[in-house]
Amino acid sequence: MIGIWTQQVTPEQLNLGRTGTLVDALGIVFTEVGEDFIRGTMPVDARTKQPAGLLHGGASVALAESLGSVAAWMCVDAERQTIVGLEVNANHVRAVREGIVIGTARPAHVGRTTHVWMIDIHDEKQRLVATSRLTVAVLPKNW
């Protein structure tokens, strides 16, 4: 086991599971798994913009929840447990019109029954775009 993870999963393996999901539809790509973080990117394009041409706040939240949920899943015994979202929030601090955004999820709390994940989203110039908090419940797999 490396860092906080109970499962060793590579970004390539995570990306294989995207097909037919919201993650796939939004162009989210898992890019890095560190000792205590997971990182991914999302394009700012027609799939993720709002009508005014800016990155849609909901797309940022989808990126945050996707990263945090996968990170939480990587911290549990996937044979016996699953995770479900309880609450997600976000503060949007910078508009983005083009390029990609990069999200990084790190744990604030990894407990037996709940996790809290902090997800920061930056633009390509490393400027903060949004910050989010995701709370998940850890449940028995066949709840």
Q: 3-class DSSP state for residue 74?
A: coil
- Output the six-digit token pair for 34: 């560190």
Whether 65 is catalytic: yes
Please identify which of the residues 65, 79, 98, 124 carries the catalytic annotation.
65
One-letter-per-residue 3-state SS of the chain: CCCCCCCCCCHHHHHHCCCCCHHHHCCCEEEEECCCCEEEEEECCCCCECCCCCECHHHHHHHHHHHHHHHHHCCCCCCCEEEEEEEEEEEECCCCCCCEEEEEEEEEEECCCEEEEEEEEECCCCCEEEEEEEEEEEEECCC
User: What residues are labeled active site?
Assistant: 65
